[in-house]
Chain A
Amino acid sequence: MKKLDLLVTGAGGQGIILASDIIGETAIAAGYDVKKTDTLGMAQRGGSVISNVRIARQVWSPLIKKGEVDILLALEKLEAARWAYYLRSGGIAIVNNQALPPLSVSLGNARYPSDEEIANILKKRTDRVFFIDGTRRARELGNIRTLNIFMLGCASLFTPFKVQAWKDSISQRLPASIRQINITAFDRGRKEMQGARL
Chain B
Amino acid sequence: MGAYHAGVKVAAAYPGTPSTEILESIARFDDIHAEWSTNEKVAMEVALGAAYAGVRAMASMKQVGLNVASDPFMAASTTGINAGMVVVSADDPGAHSSQGEQDNRHYAKLAKVPMLEPSDSQEAYEFMAHAFDLSERFDTPVLVRTTTRIAHSKSVVKVSRSRSVPTSQPGFQHDATKYVMLPVHARLRHPLMEERLVKLSAYAETFPLNQILWGERHLGVMTSGVAYQYAREVFPKVSFLKLGMTYPLPQNLLRHFASQVERLIVIEELDPFLQENIQAMGIKVTGKEFIPRLGELNPDIVEETSRSAGLLAGSSPRQVETAAELPGRPPLLCPGCPHTGIFFVLSSIGQRAKLAKAKDKTPKESKLIITGDIGCYTLGAYPPLLAMDTCACMGASIGQALGMEKAGVSNKVVAVIGDSTFLHSGITGLVNAVYNQGQITIIILDNGTTAMTGHQEHPATGVSAQGKETKKVELEQLVQGIGVNDVKVVDAFALKALRTSVRSSLSNPELSVIIVRGACSVRVPKRGEPRAIDAERCNLCDACLLLGCSAIQRENEQIYIDTALCVGDACTVCQQLCPRQAIVPQSEIVSKEAK
Give A contacts to B, CB under 8 Å: 11-13, 21, 24, 28, 33-48, 59-68, 78-79, 81-82, 84-85, 101-113, 121, 124-125, 144
In the complex the two chains form, is A81's CB within 8 Å of B326's CB? yes
Given contact pairs A12-B331, A46-B331, A78-B327, A61 touches B152 in the complex (Cβ within 8 A): no
In the complex the two chains form, is B553's CB within 8 Å of A85's CB? no
In the complex the two chains form, is B324's CB within 8 Å of A85's CB? yes
In the complex the two chains form, is B550's CB within 8 Å of A103's CB? yes
In the complex the two chains form, is B452's CB within 8 Å of A34's CB? no
Contacts of A108 in B (CB 8 A): 356, 554
Ordered by A's residue number, 26 sampled pairs between the chains whose C-beta atoms are within 8 Å are: A28-B156, A33-B155, A34-B154, A36-B155, A41-B96, A42-B97, A43-B332, A44-B334, A45-B334, A45-B335, A47-B330, A47-B331, A60-B232, A61-B230, A61-B232, A61-B233, A63-B299, A78-B326, A81-B326, A82-B329, A103-B383, A106-B545, A106-B552, A107-B384, A109-B383, A111-B327
| Beyond known contacts A46-B333, A48-B330: 20 more, CB 8 A cutoff | A33-B156, A37-B149, A38-B153, A42-B96, A42-B376, A43-B333, A47-B332, A61-B230, A61-B299, A62-B120, A65-B318, A68-B318, A85-B323, A101-B554, A103-B383, A104-B328, A107-B356, A107-B383, A108-B356, A112-B327
How many interface residues does chain B have, given as a range? 35 or more
- Other-chain residue from A44, A59, A110 in contact with B452 (beta carbon distance below 8 A): A44
Interface residues of B in 86-135 (CB under 8 A from A): 96-97, 120
Give B contacts to A, CB under 8 Å: 17, 96-97, 120, 149, 152-156, 226, 229-230, 232-233, 298-300, 303, 318-324, 326-335, 356, 376, 378-379, 383-384, 451-452, 454, 520, 522, 545, 548, 550, 552-555, 564
From A48, A106, A111, A144, residue with most partner B Cβ within 10 Å: A106
The closest CB in chain A to the CB of B374 belongs to: A42
Contacts of B320 in A (CB 8 A): 66-67, 85
> Which label, helix, strand, loop or mixed, suits the secondary structure of the A interface?
loop
- Other-chain residue from A39, A44, A64, A109 in contact with B376 (beta carbon distance below 8 A): A44
Contacts of A111 in B (CB 8 A): 327
In the complex the two chains form, is A45's CB within 8 Å of B156's CB? no
In the complex the two chains form, is B332's CB within 8 Å of A45's CB? yes
Distance to closest chain B CB from A148 (angstroms): 14
The 5 closest A-B pairs by CB, nearest first: A43-B331, A47-B331, A41-B331, A37-B153, A110-B327
> Which label, helix, strand, loop or mixed, suits the secondary structure of the B interface?
loop
In the complex the two chains form, is B326's CB within 8 Å of A11's CB? no
| Whole-angstrom CA separation of A41 from B332 in the bound complex | 9
Contacts of A78 in B (CB 8 A): 326-327, 329
In the complex the two chains form, is B152's CB within 8 Å of A38's CB? yes
The closest CB in chain A to the CB of B227 belongs to: A61
In the complex the two chains form, is B324's CB within 8 Å of A46's CB? no
Given contact pairs A34-B156, A44-B376, A65-B300, A60 touches B329 in the complex (Cβ within 8 A): no
In the complex the two chains form, is B321's CB within 8 Å of A124's CB? yes
| Whole-angstrom CA separation of A174 from B119 in the bound complex | 30
- Other-chain residue from B226, B520, B553 in contact with A101 (beta carbon distance below 8 A): B553
Contacts of A24 in B (CB 8 A): 154
| Whole-angstrom CA separation of A47 from B97 in the bound complex | 12
Distance to closest chain B CB from A110 (angstroms): 4
Distance to closest chain B CB from A102 (angstroms): 4
| Whole-angstrom CA separation of A104 from B329 in the bound complex | 8
